[in-house]
Structure 1
């Protein structure tokens, strides 16, 4: 039987005139309605929204925890398999002979900044400290909370959450989009990656549903990042002397715990106006200008801050955490990738605590990375044209993961070392997650000079600002690209302004209705349907590469510039 050429045309109906000219009306309007409804619900009926989201979260964690754990393990296997597969590894994400548009430095800067950069400023310190206090080994009595024997366990879990699993989610989405858009010439949108499975049927309603799911997941995934960022941004503003943006020390939550340091309503509004205003202006300038320059700036500032922790922080402690942590992580990875703890329903029991902890940490993170995947994946595809599949996978998985490990080792390691051996006496442990990095740097520098501590806080606020703006403006551009049937060209200003405002309102609404936990719940829910799409993307990509190998042997063209006919895949 003869080998057919690949599908290189996928018509997507867009409006020819009017306000939505160049956009898929179905995808754009339905996406806007869903997001607008969520915003109105969260802002007008915050208590009801909080209760419903909480109930849904309980249901999902009870029934889909195993799905989230296993599906991310599947993504790791697929990515590494494609890199090792000779036929796949050498294929160019573009036409034959095409070279990358961006230098390696700019490529890594944009990839790291948009993908995970902002999370480093919160979680590089907060997460190792959190796991130092509690993790499954502590729950099972194997190690002791806040003891030196618990440091290695703290890093196993920190590296698990920010390592290969996180970047495999991004790589799957980015690889599929780049392959079908730049090799096949199909629209740069999520539906194109499923053409080997559904063919031209994706031109219609099925394709629109897939793109709508991607848009909603993107908004909720980025909202999660911005939600954490808002709290930390306000904490930073407070540290540098701008007061009145956090709850007073007397404020407590329903559990009776102090919430001092969390952003109040004024703080949320101020932070979002600054962040979303700057990001919308940057989005109007496009990827090659505002986003590229912001990414390079925050990469330089990141190196300066990281250098401070490596040189003046716990240098040897951090180095030990890095190398020993990677060893422990790689040894534990196969088991942790498939392990699922099941609650026995008895509150306070070991099984209950383990299942609850897994829902708080691994399941939450896997949902976060999946919800973030259409955004980061499409962005990775946009900046990775002309690279080989092997180069893309290794570059998008291993290098950023190692950068995360470096941050966690020296920033988080410095915090743990100060608590263990540096007389911090709970100063860092007791600070809010977003405030921990400020508390730590102030503890380190204030004895030398208050001005130095203040200057460091200012630098961290600026770095946080550039990371948040990079993430938000990239998300706005990517959502508009999906809505415009994959068109990467300039978008009408009203649509950029709408999605910039919508993203800010989603964050504000969910924060006001239930704090970051409400955003977390909405994101976990939004990620579920897109996780199914991502599994289909894997199968579609594998099928396409397999068929391209057969085509090459038969002398049939595999890239859009050489294909004349356009039959189904």
Structure 2
């Protein structure tokens, strides 16, 4: 007999009825704030010690869990393929019958794109293909020469992996799990709801608090890294436009110039101030309008590269790289190397770093995706949030990165783009493609785009953190959004100082914080698989009851007041319906 009893939905997250934390779960809010505050104080008072400890702890964890990061992301990707293809799960709607999407497809995609990737794309669309052109597994194994035309295929294979279907699957696993329980079962839009098929009522206690706190901590650290990279590129762009010397640490001529600490901190305060203002205005106004602006400006920037860059080279690269990525998709899903090898060291510094970054970002982006996706089917959600953003990312990498690589191949750049800092490669490429006057105009556009992407990422993160602390409530207090904005600002500033003005401490803290949530995500997949199977059984049970009722109702002996229906489901999946009076 298979169990078709109603699912457990009685999640009870106790929130305060009055006082400063009215509407919030006190344990989740306090433990989250105290944990992050202690990290801030430690990094500010003992920056060298904090940076060293985080670095050593990160290295130790990678030595043990590098393969786990790689394999679990492969599992996420294939899990989503399965639930989208299977008819009984793919056609399920994230909501009740008749529910329609709250946002238009354009706004839905714009918000998803801005929150999920914008800043990373601005930094890495140029930098990632260039970096992998110089170093990737095929080069390490001696199959191709670095910086050669033959190395392009493998460079784009791993670029597409790091920002393609595998990467977006991380976000969508979390988003799909949260949306399914929130909109089909009216459960709180919070992390613990996604584990109810396994743990049930146990999540109403400390276990549920721990799950939600892990989500908040991962979110904070993921957003912190994103903002850290973003403000670094913002400083590079502002220096390109205005030329203010204080924005950059220009070095002694032997090192690549990089943003100064004061430049980073000033930019950080600007970004976070605007983010708090946007977060206070809510999803329907500030986040939505900024996301739409992001998408429009992104299209303009992409158009500039298409017109002035190497479009033919980019398109041929896109087509060949996409087919190569699809052909290697199964192998890339589970290709893990030992840390004692050079390949393992490369993978830990590249692929595992990206997977940890996406996992740390997934509570934030996943919950945000769930928040804006009510009324869509599972198949629509997977296609819209995995396939479409990936194809757009591939276009960016092909057009921006391809233009930069073509400049180097033709000898025009003469190493200028390759030798530029990570966050300056975009502007270094633009300076070679455009006249001085046009470069100034496009650089201003890029700076505005970076700024709006940063604001969108930060304000969405602030909203999500407050939603989790409020037990899934969407409308949270403005004061708490401001407080979390301030905490996030202090955290990023402290870790920048701990990293000596670099982003190393931020990266280490993020990879460490992402690991526990990776295990939570694995449990979320198992929970959703169980929930979808049970709901399929319940649907079949309902159909059989309706069919049996209709057949017996036509009988002349039918007495509805004295009819009892019994559904029998065998362990092999066979169905039966008996009727007794």
TM-score, normalised on structure 2? 0.91
2:249 to 247, 250, 268: 247
- Distance in 1 (alpha carbons) for counterparts of 2:317 and 2:150: 13
- 1:415-453 CA distances to partner (integer Å, 9 max, x unpaired)? 00001115110111111111111111111113xxx2211
- Paired position in structure 2 for 1:560: none
- Distance in 2 (alpha carbons) for counterparts of 1:343 and 1:112: 33
Once the two structures are superposed, the pairs formed by residues 123-272 of structure 1 within 5 Å of their partners are: 123-241=124-242, 242-250=244-252, 258-261=255-258, 263-272=259-268
- Paired position in structure 1 for 2:349: 360
- 1:111-146 CA distances to partner (integer Å, 9 max, x unpaired)? 111001111110000000001111111111111111
Shift of 1:393: 0.7
- Paired position in structure 2 for 1:535: 522
Q: Which runs of 4+ in 1 moved over 3 A?
A: none
- Distance in 2 (alpha carbons) for counterparts of 1:25 and 1:88: 37
- Distance in 1 (alpha carbons) for counterparts of 2:478 and 2:289: 21
- Distance in 1 (alpha carbons) for counterparts of 2:95 and 2:117: 26
Q: Is 405-414 or 142-151 further displaced after alignment?
A: 142-151
1:525 to 502, 512, 523: 512
- Paired position in structure 1 for 2:6: 5
Shift of 1:243: 2.9
Q: Does 1:383 align with 2:372?
A: yes
Alpha carbons 1:237, 1:243 under 8 Å: kept = no
Q: Does 1:442 align with 2:431?
A: yes
- Distance in 1 (alpha carbons) for counterparts of 2:530 and 2:332: 29
Alpha carbons 2:171, 2:358 under 8 Å: kept = yes
- Distance in 1 (alpha carbons) for counterparts of 2:488 and 2:328: 37
Shift of 1:553: 1.0
- Structure-2 change in CA distance of 1:343 and 1:187 (3 Å): closer
Once the two structures are superposed, the pairs formed by residues 81-160 of structure 1 within 5 Å of their partners are: 81-160=82-161
Shift of 1:221: 0.6
TM-score, normalised on structure 1? 0.93
- Distance in 2 (alpha carbons) for counterparts of 1:333 and 1:91: 27
* Unmatched 5+ stretches in structure 1: 252-256, 345-350, 558-569
Shift of 1:7: 2.4
- Paired position in structure 1 for 2:576: none
- Distance in 2 (alpha carbons) for counterparts of 1:41 and 1:521: 15
SS at match of 1:240: helix
- Structure-2 change in CA distance of 1:27 and 1:556 (3 Å): farther
- 1:435-493 CA distances to partner (integer Å, 9 max, x unpaired)? 111111111113xxx2211111100000000000000000000000000000001x222
Alpha carbons 2:144, 2:150 under 8 Å: kept = yes
Alpha carbons 2:14, 2:25 under 8 Å: kept = yes
- Distance in 2 (alpha carbons) for counterparts of 1:343 and 1:37: 32
Once the two structures are superposed, the pairs formed by residues 446-525 of structure 1 within 5 Å of their partners are: 446=435, 450-489=436-475, 491-514=476-499, 515-525=502-512
- Distance in 2 (alpha carbons) for counterparts of 1:379 and 1:440: 33
- Distance in 1 (alpha carbons) for counterparts of 2:277 and 2:517: 29
- Distance in 1 (alpha carbons) for counterparts of 2:505 and 2:310: 36
- Distance in 2 (alpha carbons) for counterparts of 1:276 and 1:89: 39
1:372 to 344, 347, 361: 361
Alpha carbons 2:308, 2:434 under 8 Å: kept = no
- Paired position in structure 2 for 1:304: 300
Higher RCO (CA 8 Å, separation ≥ 6 residues): 1
Alpha carbons 1:9, 1:185 under 8 Å: kept = no
- 1:86-107 CA distances to partner (integer Å, 9 max, x unpaired)? 1111111011121101111111
C-alpha root-mean-square deviation of aligned residues, in Å?
1.3
Q: Does 1:417 align with 2:406?
A: yes
Alpha carbons 2:75, 2:333 under 8 Å: kept = no
- 1:56-89 CA distances to partner (integer Å, 9 max, x unpaired)? 1110111000000000000001101000111111
SS at match of 1:244: helix
SS at match of 2:539: helix
* Unmatched 5+ stretches in structure 2: 545-581
- Distance in 2 (alpha carbons) for counterparts of 1:136 and 1:3: 49
Shift of 1:494: 2.1
- Distance in 2 (alpha carbons) for counterparts of 1:146 and 1:130: 9
Alpha carbons 2:256, 2:419 under 8 Å: kept = no
Q: Is 356-365 or 132-141 further displaced after alignment?
A: 132-141
- Distance in 1 (alpha carbons) for counterparts of 2:357 and 2:543: 40
- Structure-2 change in CA distance of 1:501 and 1:259 (3 Å): farther
Q: Is 285-294 or 127-136 further displaced after alignment?
A: 127-136
SS at match of 2:248: coil
Alpha carbons 1:70, 1:337 under 8 Å: kept = yes
SS at match of 1:478: helix
Shift of 1:9: 2.6
Shift of 1:503: 1.2
Alpha carbons 1:4, 1:556 under 8 Å: kept = no
SS at match of 2:143: coil
- Distance in 2 (alpha carbons) for counterparts of 1:319 and 1:544: 42
